[in-house]
Structure 1
Amino acid sequence: MATAFPCRVQTWLLLSLCTLSFGCESRSKAAKGEDPVPVSIAVAEKKDVPREVRAFGSVDASSTVDVRAQVQGLVTEVHFKEGDFVKRGQLLFTVDTRPYSASLAAAQAELLRNRAIAEQMRVEAERANALRQEGIASDRDVAKANADAASSAAEVKLGQAQAASASLNVAFTRITAPMDGRTGALLVYPGNLVNATDAQPLVVLRSISPVYIRFSVPQEHLSTIRERLGKEPLTARVTPRGERAKTIEAPVTFLENTVDASTGTIQLKATYLNAEQELWPGSSVDVVLVMGKDEGATVVPEPALQRSQSGTLVFVIGQDGRASPRPVNVLRTTETQALIAYGLEPGERVATDGLLRLRKGTKVAEAAPPAKLAASTSSEQKRPEGL
Structure 2
Amino acid sequence: MTTVRVELDQRAYDIRIGAGLLGRDTFADVAQPKARALIVTNTTVAPLYAQALQQALEPHFAEVLQCVLPDGEQYKDWPTLNRIFDALLERQCDRKTTLFALGGGVIGDMTGFAAACYMRGVPFVQVPTTLLAQVDSSVGGKTAINHPLGKNMIGAFYQPRLVVADVETLRTLPPREVSAGLAEIIKHGAIADAEFFGWLETHMERLRALEHDAVVHAVRRSCEIKAAVVAQDETESGLRAILNFGHTFGHAIEAGMGYGQWLHGEAVGAGMVIAAGVSERLGLLDPASAVRLQELVRRAGLPVEAPALPLQRYLDLMQVDKKNDAGNVRFVLLQGLGGAVLRAAPQDLVTSSLLAHGAIRDASPAMSGPGSPASRTAGSLAA
TM-score range, shorter-chain basis? under 0.3
The structure with higher relative contact order (CA 8 Å, sep 6+) is 1
Structure 1 or 2, whichever has the larger Rg, is 1
TM-score by length of 2: 0.22
Report the structure, 1 or 2, having the larger strand content: 1
TM-score by length of 1: 0.22
